[in-house]
Structures are given as C-alpha cells and as structure tokens.
C-alpha cells in the first residue's frame, strides 16, 4: 500500500534487507565521508554565516527549527544534488514535506506509526498509508526526475542515488525505481529530524556548561589555527574532546528512545532478580529495547543525570559495559548513517564555536520538560539559546 515506507531498509527483513543493506553500505564508508565532507562543510558555513550576519535572528533563537533547516539543506545537497537554503527560502518544498513526514504529534499519526510496526498486514487490509499523498507524490517526483536526468545526460555524482542506480543496472540486485525512492526517502527522514535534535541537545548542554564549552572551543581553535581557519575531515576526526562531548550528549539524549529487534532463535532469559520468573522469547516475537532507560541506569553510568564528558575519555571509556551505550543501536541493523550524522553534527558545532559564544537566556527551559506526543526528546517550550558574537 505504501512502497516508500514499506520498501526502505528500515522496514525490510530477511534476505531482501540484507541485500539492500549491502547495496547502501558503500555510501557510508570513510572514503565516501571524505568525499562529501566539503559539501556538508559548505552547508554548515553558509548556515553559520547567515546567523552571524543576522544578529536580530540569532541573539535569541529557537534552534530546533533552525537546525532542522540546516539538516534539510545538507540532505538535499548530499543525497539529491539539489541546493536549498532553508533559512532564506523558508517554505521550500523539501522543508515543508520533511516536516510533514516527521510529524508524529497527534494521536492518529502516532497510532498509525505503531500500527505499521506492529501489524503491517492490518494496515494493508484497511488500506492505510503512512505518508500524506502530497508528500509521497513530492518524493516520487523529485527522485524520479533526478534519476531520469542522470540517465539521459550521463551525470555521475558519488551519492546514494548513484549507488542505487548502479545496483539497478546490475540484474542480480533487482532494484526498481520504487526501491530507489524508498531508500532515498528513509535517508532523508532519518537525517532530517534525529540529527537536528542531537544538535539541539548538544548546543543546549554547552550553553548550560560554560566550562565544557570553553574547553571545546580551545580544541576547535587549535585545529582551526593549524589549518589557517579551515577544518578538514582528518582534523575533525582527531578532536578527542569533541567526541567526548557528543558521546555524552547522545548518552543523555539518545536520538531514538528505543529500538526493536525480531527474535530469530528461541532464547531463555534468566530471572531479572530473585523471586521473579524467567522468560522465553520465541522466533518471530518482537523485543523493544529501551535505550533511554539503559543510558540513565546508575548500574552502568554513576550519577546518570549529570552531563559529564569525562565518561568517554581514553581513561574511562573502556570501563563502559558493552551494549549499555547504544545511541545508534547495535548489531547488523545498527544505524547505517551514524558516521554521516556525527560528521554533520560536529561540523556545525565547529563553525558555531568559531564565531559565537553560546549562552542561555530567559526563554531557556531549565530543566527540559519534554513533549509526550513525540518519539524524540523535544521540549514543550523549544530549545531557546543566545548566540553572542565572539570578541577576538
């Protein structure tokens, strides 16, 4: 009923999932990240320059809306080869349809999503589609036109659509235009909302922890000075404190609150504690794994509510028990785009710290109170901070 939602790598299972995952994996290798690094960095610089040139906008800013526009521009450029400036052109089609696709507020949309995951057979019988007709038609049109234009003109651009087109031309893969649209869509959907939310939490925590922000800025300035004010993929990869800050942000505020896995082999779980019964999980049963709860369990992370990047220092990170830190999931089905998402987040923070000091203001919620109608950790009153231009 809804091939865009049903045929993407997130929804597929079994051999078809394995084949599609293997087809997409080359999009996210280190060499591919290096190739697209300049595209992402350009988007990041243009975004931060706009904030710098418009203090009336950035002096008190709700960053969720702003950062979602940044991730929208990055994905449109990297995956679709289309330049979009969502701060200048605020109602562009990519942004408006991205907002529609990632809107889970409201009981009906929430129930519809759960129904798709729990009983796809029922949704097929009833004829329910996940996406609105206008959003579905938009992605079909844009990706169809992109593929057609590249075929006709022999355009080669080293991105996800190119890899899918190569797989389509190899008969053993049996890739159709529906498959190409579905994979390009899920890449857009995953990067549009979760990456921008991770950026918001990182900026919020830096605003509230000026000592951490100062130390991170020192590291950023040091690498920028070595490369005459610019940043490279290699220098970004060497920023140890940046890694620590982002890792601790993702521990406190994981992009997804939970993940799920389907059992393929019978498993006897032992009792959780004395006096409790064990449990049998049978093949075909679905297991929900509460990432947020595990990340904040004092058994694994002492003083779990505290923002402490030192948990991920070279001296301490090896003490973390395997599978207790899983912001991108784990195993064969862990998030395929995690390397891309981290690069996107880190680049934005580098360029922001290069030009601004991030501070809380009277609209900043302390502590955050989250919406109950969202799958991600979005505060009821938004992420409000102030960007003050640095004094050199």
Annotated binding site for heme: 335
How many Cα atoms within 13 Å fall on the side-chain side of residue 23? Answer: 27
Q: Which residues of 372-388 are buried (b: 16+ CB within 10 A; e: fewer)?
A: eebbbbbbeebbbbbbe
Residue from 233, 181, 185, 191 nearest 71 by CA: 191
- C-alpha 281/C-alpha 264 separation (Å) is 9
Residue from 37, 30, 29, 16 nearest 167 by CA: 16
Q: Which residues are documented as binding site?
A: 335
Count of Cβ atoms closer than 10 Å to residue 366 Cβ:
9
- C-alpha 385/C-alpha 144 separation (Å) is 40
**Which residue do the tokens 């798709």 mark?**
116
- C-alpha 91/C-alpha 99 separation (Å) is 11
Coil, strand or helix at 259: strand
73 preceded by a cis bond (ω within 30 of 0): no
């Amino acid at each position: 009923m809804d091939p865009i939602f049903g045929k993407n790598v997130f929804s597929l299972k079994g051999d078809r999932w394995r084949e599609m995952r293997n087809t997409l994996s080359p999009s996210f290798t280190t060499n591919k990240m290096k190739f697209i690094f300049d595209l992402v960095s350009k988007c990041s610089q243009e975004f931060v320059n706009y904030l710098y040139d418009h203090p009336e906008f950035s002096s008190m800013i709700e960053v969720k809306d702003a950062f979602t526009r940044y991730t929208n521009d990055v994905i449109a450029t990297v995956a679709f080869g289309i330049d979009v400036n969502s701060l200048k052109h605020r109602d562009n089609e990519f942004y408006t349809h991205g907002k529609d696709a990632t809107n889970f507020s409201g009981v009906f949309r929430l129930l519809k999503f759960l129904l798709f995951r729990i009983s796809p057979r029922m949704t097929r019988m009833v004829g329910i589609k996940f996406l609105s007709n206008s959003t579905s038609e938009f992605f079909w049109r844009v990706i169809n036109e992109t593929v057609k234009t590249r075929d006709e003109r022999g355009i080669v651009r080293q991105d996800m659509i190119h890899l899918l087109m190569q797989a389509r031309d190899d008969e053993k893969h049996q890739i159709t235009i529906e498959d190409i649209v579905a994979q390009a869509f899920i890449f857009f959907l995953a990067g549009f909302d979760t990456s921008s939310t991770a950026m918001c939490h990182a900026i919020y925590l830096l605003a509230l922890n000026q000592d951490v922000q100062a130390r991170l800025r020192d590291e950023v300035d040091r690498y920028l000075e070595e490369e005459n004010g610019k940043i490279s993929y290699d220098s970004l990869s060497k920023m140890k404190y940046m890694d620590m800050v982002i890792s601790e942000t993702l521990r406190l505020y994981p992009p997804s609150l939970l993940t799920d896995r389907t059992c393929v082999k019978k498993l006897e779980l032992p009792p959780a504690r004395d006096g409790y019964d064990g449990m049998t999980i049978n093949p075909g049963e679905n297991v929900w794994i509460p990432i947020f709860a595990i990340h904040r369990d004092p058994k694994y992370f002492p003083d779990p509510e505290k923002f402490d990047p030192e948990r991920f220092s070279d001296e301490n990170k090896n003490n973390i028990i395997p599978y207790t830190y899983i912001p991108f999931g784990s195993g064969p089905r862990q998030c395929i785009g995690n390397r891309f998402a981290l690069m996107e987040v880190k680049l934005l923070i580098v360029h922001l710290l290069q030009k601004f000091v991030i501070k809380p203001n009277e609209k900043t919620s302390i502590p955050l109170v989250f919406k109950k109608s969202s799958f991600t950790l979005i505060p009821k009153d938004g992420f409000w901070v102030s960007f003050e231009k640095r004094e050199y």
